[in-house]
Amino acid sequence: MQMMVLTVSLVLMALLGMVFFAAIRSGGRAPAGNKVERRRSVLIAALLVAGVVISIVSLRPWPQAVTMTADARTINVTGGQWYWEIDNTQLPLGVPISFNSHTKDVTHGFGVMNDAGQLLFQVQVMPGYVNQVQYVFDEPGDYKVVCLEYCGVAHHDMISEFTVIANQDGATNG
């Protein structure tokens, strides 16, 4: 998904660059007639259509479309300079988990990555608030917790982990 977004972005940037290049090149010359203008209009219309189609296709599975369920397992996450406290590091597979995030000092960014290094979700952790994010893990294994908000000199070192295991407490997995 991330690779696809990157590839599409690069292709669109290249196309946009070509439009600018064409505009600069044609700018210095005398009017070239309707043919060039028509071609330019077709190119711009094609870019607009491509942009709308790609936006719809790529934004459809975006994380904000996830709905919260009331019967989720609650896990408390506390961020501090420069550590994470997670009140349970053995999480069940296939069950909605609600991460309630707190901070003891400044704003942090609670981000969870799978073992392939893909960011699965993140939530900002703010002083005075409990920010929630819900997720259902469908792969057992080790997950890495990182901080995604610059919070001081050891921000990069604010790393933790937890494990997702099958059938914890007799939970059934779909």
Binding part of the chain for ligand CUA, among 12-20, 58-66, 127-135, 148-156 by CB under 6 A, reads 148-156
Q: What is the DSSP string of 89-153?
A: SEEETTSEEEEEEEESSS-EEEEEE-TT--EEEEEEE-TT--EEEEEE--S-EEEEEEE-S--ST
Give the closest residue to 120 by CA, choosing from 10, 9, 1. Answer: 1
151 binding ligand CUA? (CB under 6 A): yes
Q: Report the C-alpha gap between 48 and 54 in whole angstroms.
A: 10
The piece of 18-26, 28-36, 49-57, 150-158 that touches ligand CUA (CB under 6 A) is 150-158
The one segment of 63-71, 133-141, 143-151, 164-172 that binds ligand CUA by CB under 6 A: 143-151
Write out the two tokens for 67.
């709905």
| 155 interacts with ligand CUA by CB under 6 A | yes
Among 149, 160, 162, 164, binds ligand CUA (CB under 6 A): 149
Q: Which is nearer to ligand CUA, 101 or 149 (CB)?
A: 149
How many residues of this chain bind ligand CUA (CB under 6 A)? Answer: 8
Contacting residues toward ligand CUA, per CB under 6 A: 79, 108, 147, 149-151, 155, 158
